[in-house]
Amino acid sequence: MGSDSEAGKAAEPRTPKPRRAATVKAVLPPSWAPSPAHYDQARTEGAKGREWVDAESRAMRDWAASKGERSADWDARFRNWIRKGLESGNVRPLSRQQLTIQPVARDENGESYGERAMRIAREKQAAAEAARGAV
């Protein structure tokens, strides 16, 4: 026969362990982009520029889409992606051309090609507005 203490234990109801809340995982949102913290992390851990972070974010986006990946925190996932990329040596140093500031190409009037394109667009818009006003 058992003792009184053994009988008392058997009679006590078991209390279930509390369950943790379910983590909601979602696909990578189309609006997701690397944050300034991601660029800072890459720089402090050894990456050579924003171009690398942008290339890695495109690679992660393609990977997530191709696998149908879901995550509870895509920023944390990308922090790990950066860390693993740096640990694996997937960091290409910037070329000498990328390190130097390239002069802006200018036409014979001293206008850059971007400035010229903007000027032409403004002129076309002004002409279109004038034509609507004349009608």
Cβ contacts of 107 within 8 Å, gap of 6 or more? 113, 116
pLDDT per residue of the chain (135 residues) written in tens, 0 to 9: 555 555 555 667 788 777 777 788 999 999 999 999 999 998 888 876 888 899 899 999 999 999 899 999 999 999 999 988 888 876 655 555 555 556 667 778 888 877 888 888 999 999 999 988 866
pTM for the whole structure: 0.52
pLDDT value of residue 111: 83
Is the CB of residue 105 less than 8 Å from the CB of residue 112?
yes
Q: How many CB atoms lie within 10 A of CB 54?
A: 14
Place of tokens 């076309």: 124
pLDDT value of residue 102: 60
